Structure 1
Amino acid sequence: MPTSAIDAQDAAAIQAVKEGVVVCDRSHWGLIRVSDDHRIRFLHNQSTNDFQSLKPGQGCDTVMVTSTARTIDLVTAYVLEDAVLLLVSPNRREFIMQWLDRYIFFADKVQLTDVTDETATLSLIGPGSDGIIEKLGAGAIIGQPYGNHILVNDGVIVAVGSGLASPGYTLILPVAEKQKLWNEILALGAVELSDRAWDALRILEGRPTPDAELTDDYNPLEVGLWQTISFSKGCYIGQETIARLNTYKGVKQNLWGIKLNAPAEIGATITVGDEKVGKLTSYIETAEGYFGLGYIRTKAGGVGLQVQVGETTGEIVAVPFVSHEYP
């Protein structure tokens, strides 16, 4: 994970996200195909969102959690006619395959297939992405809800949502078609976004990632992933804990952005006065300055709070990917 300044090329790509369009190769992210008759019911019982309300052509973000509602990964699901595709974080691909397999019992008709190596995943990000989607023959998807997707020529799935808070689309396609489509997208004016620039963007926008913001120490309500949680769907792994936290307003800490005045170390203790109030979980140095993500105790405050982060100071700011409002 980067702890130093991004270069000029990455800075230009991040700027293009605000004003134009970038393309990011996410093919190293895990892609798991869940098929057979019980696939929807199975996924409904294994994560935080309501799969039984989804129809083919729709999708959602959902969180895989432990039995005590600790976060494993933030997953994007796309419901197809005959299967569900799960886009999972690169460092959670094998873990989630094994995790889901543990919950398939003898009578369950559920098949798990890791299709990462035979597929490619690209994200188009920025206000200019609509124009490219139109030229790729997927204009019908523009303006549809998050997670909705259509199939276009050469077996390309085009889905609403960039993977970040910025507008855009995710494309899933056979790996044999990747180079051709990549070249076509660049020819249509997209700027390449490197993995390093993606990570900088996800920090600036507040997208949590495993081993940093998504760990055994935090639950989805503390992260602020309200949009991924159904409070009406009934029983699932971790449901009792999440329901109790929501009912009794029991969230003790929240994930926030932190505008820093100098470099900081990931893992640094965050204090207000003499009191420890949190921990820095991610950090990036950009052209605009130093920025991090961290958990802050709810009682300490939120936006505008002045904090000490290790040897430097900072201010708590909102980040668009997460929310801390009780719905």
Structure 2
Amino acid sequence: MPTSAIDGKDIAAIQAATEEVAICDRSLWGRIRVSDDDRIRFLHNQSTNDFQSLKPGQGCDTVMVTSTARTIDLVTAYVLDDAVLLLVSPNRCEFLMQWLDRYIFFADKVKLTDITSETATFSLIGPKSDVVIEKLGAKAIIGQPYGNHLLVKEEIIVAVGSGLASAGYTLILPASEKQQVWNQILELGAVELSDRAWNTLRVLQGRPVPDLELTDDYNPLEAGLWQTISFTKGCYIGQETIARLNTYKGVKQHLWGIRLNAPAEVGSAIAVGDEKVGKLTSYTETADGYFGLGYVRSKAGGVGLKVQIGETEGEIVEIPFVSHDYPD
């Protein structure tokens, strides 16, 4: 993920994503089509959310985890009439194809297809996304729950959710339509948001990503991804560990935002006084200063806690993408 200082164009795009509407090309993200008769049961058993409660036209975020509930990827799933489409992180598609394939047994009717190269993905981000969506012919999706989606022109999926905490939509379309739809959205007033600006926004909002916040060192509860987890659906890979952590309130560290007074290096220890209490996992520079993400031990404190990262001072702040509350 890029972390260098943002330029004026990025600043303007982030402002558009905050106040108006921006568009980001997320075509580097992987797309896996899961089809055949057992597709829903299979995904229900392989990840944290409740697929069996979803109907075609609905969707959800879910986490792929190891048998010990360590995070592999945060995935967005869209349930179609004849398949489930998974939107996965840029560096995770091949790994997840192989990982999921290991759990398809002889009698299972499940087919995995990597459709990344033949499709494209855009995200519309910002409070004025509705205006663009309406002009694209997808007015019926406005106001619907996260993950709900519909087809425009029989080939463009328009889904609620920008991939960030910001309001917006995600479009998945044939690669052959990419340039035409991109140009159309720019003509409708959306401002182009670069990968670097996207990364700045995702750090500010706290969306965890593989290799940084989502690794073998952390579970989905520590990452604050409560909204992706069903505690009532029964068995799935990693379920026992997650259920135990929830039941006994055993989450020992949380992902937080950290407002910094100077640059800091990813991987650095987070300390309170002489005591190490966590690790900085992401860092970005913004128009307003410096900002990071990091895991901090629960006992050390939360919002308002003053921390030290090398010579840099910081303060723990809320990030909108994650939650730290145990469900009732």
Distance 1:82 1:2 in 2: 37
- Residue of structure 2 equivalent to 1:132: 132
3-state SS of the aligned residue for 1:293? Answer: strand
- 2:146/2:160 contact within 8 Å kept: yes
Per-residue deviation, residues 275-300 of structure 1 (Å, max 9, x unmatched) = 11000000001110000000000000
1:28 & 1:284 partners in 2: Cα distance? 21
Partners of 2:44 and 2:174 in 1: how far apart?
27
Alignment of 1:236-315 (within 5 A): 236-315=236-315
* 1:69-99, Cα deviation, whole Å (9 max, x unpaired): 0000000000000000000000001000000
By how many angstroms is 1:310 displaced? 1.6
Name the CA distance, whole Å, in 1 between partners of 2:18 and 2:104: 43
1:117-139 CA distance string (max 9 Å, x none): 00011000000100000000000
Residue correspondences, number: 327
User: Which residue of structure 1 aligns with residue 212 of structure 2?
Assistant: 212
| Unaligned 5+ runs, structure 1 | none
Q: Percent identity?
A: 82
Instruction: Verify the 8 A CA contact 2:3 2:199 in the aligned structure 1.
Output: no
Amino acid at match of 1:191: V
Task: Report SS of the residue matched to 2:256.
Answer: strand
Q: Point out 4+ residue stretches in structure 1 off by more than 2 angstroms.
A: 1-4
The one-letter code matched in structure 1 to 2:96 is: I
Taking the aligned partners of 2:168 and 2:233, their CA distance within structure 1 comes to 29
Equivalent residue for 2:150?
150
How does 1:156-175 map onto structure 2 within 5 Å? Answer: 156-175=156-175
TM-score by length of 2: 0.99
Alignment-derived partner of residue 326 in structure 2: 326
How far apart are the structure 2 equivalents of 1:77 and 1:224?
A: 19
User: 1:69, 1:220 within 8 Å by CA — same for their partners in 2?
Assistant: yes
Residue aligned with 1:45, SS: helix
Question: How far apart are the structure 2 equivalents of 1:235 and 1:144?
Answer: 29
Letter in 1 for 2:93: R
Deviation at 1:154, TM superposition (A): 4.9
1:11 corresponds to 2:11: yes
Task: Check 1:2–1:310 CA distance in 2 against 1; reply closer, same or farther (3 A cut).
Answer: farther
State the match for 2:27 in structure 1.
27
Aligned partners of 1:212 and 1:57: how far apart in 2?
Answer: 32
Q: How many angstroms apart in 1 are the aligned matches of 2:18 and 2:182?
A: 21
Within 1, Cα distance between the matches of 2:267 and 2:212? 9
Cα deviation for residue 274 of structure 1 reads 1.1
- Residue matched to 1:56: 56
**Conserved? CA contact 1:16–1:191, under 8 Å:** yes
Q: Secondary structure at the match of 1:33?
A: strand
Bigger Cα displacement from structure 2, 41-50 vs 306-315? 306-315
Deviations along 1:170-189, one digit per CA (max 9) or x if unpaired, are 00111111111000000000
TM-score (norm 1): 0.99
Q: Distance in 1 between matches of 2:44 and 2:262?
A: 44
Letter in structure 2 aligned against 1:253: Q
Q: Deviations over 1:187-219 (max 9, x none)?
A: 000000001111111000000000000000000
**Which residue does the alignment assign to 1:75?**
75
User: For 1:41, what is the secondary structure of its paired residue?
Assistant: helix
> What is the deviation of 1:311?
1.6
User: Considering only aligned residues, what root-mean-square deviation do their CA atoms show, in Å?
Assistant: 0.6
Give the Å deviation of 1:3.
Answer: 3.4
Q: What do the CA deviations read for 1:90-120 (whole angstroms, capped 9, x no partner)?
A: 0001000000000000000000000000001
Unaligned 5+ residue runs, structure 2?
A: none
1:36 aligns with 2:36: yes
Contact 1:154 1:177 in 2 (8 A): no
